[in-house]
Structure 1
């Protein structure tokens, strides 16, 4: 970090932004406000990075890759919508990693970057309904090879692969069905193929869960979060089929109300424990909390809001976007229910 101006300024920016939000922070009239320090350092880091990107070895530079990744992290702390982070992920870090290729990240430090990027990228694609280069064959092969080489199974690596697959299938499902007239969907071969593919994907997700329960250390925080992702994936995947009535009975994945409530309770429990007992960034819990909120009964909503507030207080203001989305969704849902009761 000391040899990289971009990384040095980013370290100052993130530290100053965090300091600006702590009640214990005090500044005299002669001292510059931490928030001003944060944004000025952020701007300097961007300028340094732009200069580095003009060099011939930019694609393989660890400094460049880490800088783009940490710029996105700063955006998660600074910008509530999350759009700045998504742009940095898609146009910054992902482009640098793609240019370098899957075989360029052999050192421990580079591997840590790829692993950290992978988790945030999985959240980005599924929250934004997008696809990722990590789903390409050469990157999937590299991930599979890495999984086979580790002595201890890494459930987080495997569940993020399923998140990529589920996000890609979700986009395919909506694009395909919306392209078919409603009256023709029930008998369309493409719709039947989607049902089969969706069921196969559901089986893969279930197989992951069964295997991880047998192989993993349940007390490990990242293992617990991988299970929260599993529950959220099940809720997400099965919910996508409920938006259309063109499926034959029993041909698509579905959850009972009991299963749905159990998954919501499990997500809340894991996220509560993670925010209270570990140093894992709460931002990686946003997808499970979003899905838990979309399926939560009234009595569990406040617990979800409380966890989101804790994540917000820890420095990730992007949690506010999920809070607003859920509150809007709950208002709509409650209005819909009250209308049905009156009629």
Structure 2
């Protein structure tokens, strides 16, 4: 008997596979993901076990005969490179999700994840729901998808998909292999990203990073043979976590010896100096030093702090970090004339450098126990110059790159704490507004923190308008 002809890319018939729940009950599945039956019954809509497809690479010629056929055994992918104009609304939100990723780079490689991420999206309910949530949320804000009468609004889809992904995550983390699953790791990131886009307080993002992503990374333990997806994820996590530790004055998993040693093992042996990786290491070092210094000083009686050798030692340790920052800057300046690569990561790294110098100085210049030259305290003129540099670099990064706005929070928060006048405060609020316009509403939290600082220091009156322009 002849083999039944398989559906091909030009075949107009619809291919529907039953989900696991419908297959188990031996009932017709309407298709979609999740299907109507699983939505109605509240079941987790899992795809059927994936069969291995065969991709044929064929070199043909005029006679129609095949000269070369190479069969590669790998799962078939359904790639969306833009927003579909019709069909399943969920597919359109997946398209919006991909466009959002392309327009918000967290690392240099983050924009090239379409194929790998989409494969996980197609096979993992957790990533499917979280991707739809982000895509629908972005679509609701941009008005990029019209809604016909009787259909749920993109905003409703966003939050219902978010709740569905939370339920799947809660079920997934109880499984034995949860820490080794790429979809669970990426799921914590996308859920945290959704919080950055919806929760102005930033508390939800911190919760996912601290109690989700960090916990799973710690359970899985460092492994230099990790998958490419997990390695890319680690790079993104490192970017966000270094800023979070500084912004929230909290400990980070990245400062633990096992992860510090692991990162050294990942470093390529090509001798190429990476300004982003080096400045992130300095950010993690500054965050850890800040916490340890506070713990040491708080255990020493107030009057003894002026003469205690442990307090003096902190000043000299701060100077060593400052010297390493200056050495980083000297190396980074050599790259400014390189026009062969994307300059936006270097702009961001330079903004971080200026912010770190101010942050480090702030650990000492607010207290009377230290004085230059025995501590890394900057004169006011240098602080003002670093603030101006942060504003210039951040503005350039926002104008000329697709870097995610969330990456700008640390330098803008530091610059805001030392802003020199109404013009600089206005510039900072303007940039926070642009970050918020890109979807990261947690910019409002940075604004609120700065407003408190400005009022406390008498820089503005309590009623001065610090509203972010988000429309």
Question: TM-score when scaled to structure 1?
Answer: 0.93
Go from structure 1 to structure 2 and tell me whether the alpha carbon gap of 1:335 and 1:215 turns closer, same or farther (over 3 Å shift). Answer: closer
Separation of aligned partners in 2, 1:336 and 1:45 = 43
Mapped partners of 1:44, 1:187: distance in 2: 58
4+ long deviations beyond 6 Å:
none
Distance apart, 1:273 and its partner CA = 1.6
1:301 aligns with 2:425: yes
Partner Cα separation in structure 2 for residue 105 and residue 75 of structure 1: 31
Higher Cα Rg: structure 1 or 2?
Answer: 2
Shifted more, 264-273 versus 278-287: the winner is 264-273
- Distance in 1, Cα, partners of 2:437 & 2:165: 25
Partner of 1:341: none
Q: 1:270 aligns with which of 393, 401, 407?
A: 393
SS state at 1:12 partner: helix
Deviations for 1:261-319, whole angstroms, at most 9, x for unmatched residues?
Answer: 22111111121122222111100100000001111111211111000001011100100
Q: Which residue of 2 aligns with 1:166?
A: 286
Aligned CA-pair RMSD = 1.9
Q: Of residues 436, 440, 450 in structure 2, which corresponds to 1:316?
A: 440
Change (3 A) 1:60 1:149: farther
Cα pair distance change 1:170/1:279, threshold 3 Å: same
- Segments of structure 1 that go 5 or more residues without pairing to the other structure are 338-343
Which of the residues 358, 370, 376 maps onto 1:235?
A: 358
Shift of residue 213 of structure 1?
A: 2.3
Does structure 2 conserve the Cα–Cα contact (< 8 Å) formed by 1:147 and 1:157? no
Q: Give structure 2 stretches of 5+ with no counterpart.
A: 1-120, 462-471
For structure 1, which segment, 82-91 or 31-40, has the greater mean C-alpha deviation from structure 2 after superposition?
31-40
Give 3-state SS (helix, strand or coil) of 1:253's partner: coil
Matched, 1:63 2:183: yes
Deviation (angstroms), 1:327: 1.7
CA contact 1:312–1:319 (8 Å) conserved in 2: yes
Q: 2:233 aligns with which of 106, 113, 135?
A: 113
Structure ranking higher on relative contact order (CA contacts 8 Å, 6+ apart):
1
Please report how far the alpha carbon of residue 28 of structure 1 lies from its aligned counterpart in structure 2 after TM superposition. 4.5
Preserved CA contact (<8 Å) 1:235 1:291:
yes
Work out the CA distance in 1 between the residues paired with 2:355 and 2:195: 25
Q: What is the CA deviation profile of residues 174-218 of structure 1, one whole-angstrom value per residue up to 9, with x for unaligned ones?
A: 222222222111111111111121111111222222222225747
* 1:23–1:333 distance in 2 versus 1, CA, 3 Å: farther
From the superposition, tell whether residues 260 and 104 of structure 1 become closer, same or farther in structure 2 (CA, over 3 Å).
same
Q: Which residue is 2:162 aligned to?
A: 42
Q: Once the two structures are superposed, what CA deviation does each residue of 1:127-172 show, in whole Å capped at 9, x if it has no partner?
A: 1111112112221122123224356432111111111110111112
**1-side partners of 2:151 and 2:400: how far apart?**
35
Once the two structures are superposed, the pairs formed by residues 9-88 of structure 1 within 5 Å of their partners are: 9-23=129-143, 26-88=146-208
Q: If each structure's helix is expressed as a fraction of its own residues, which one has the higher value?
A: 1
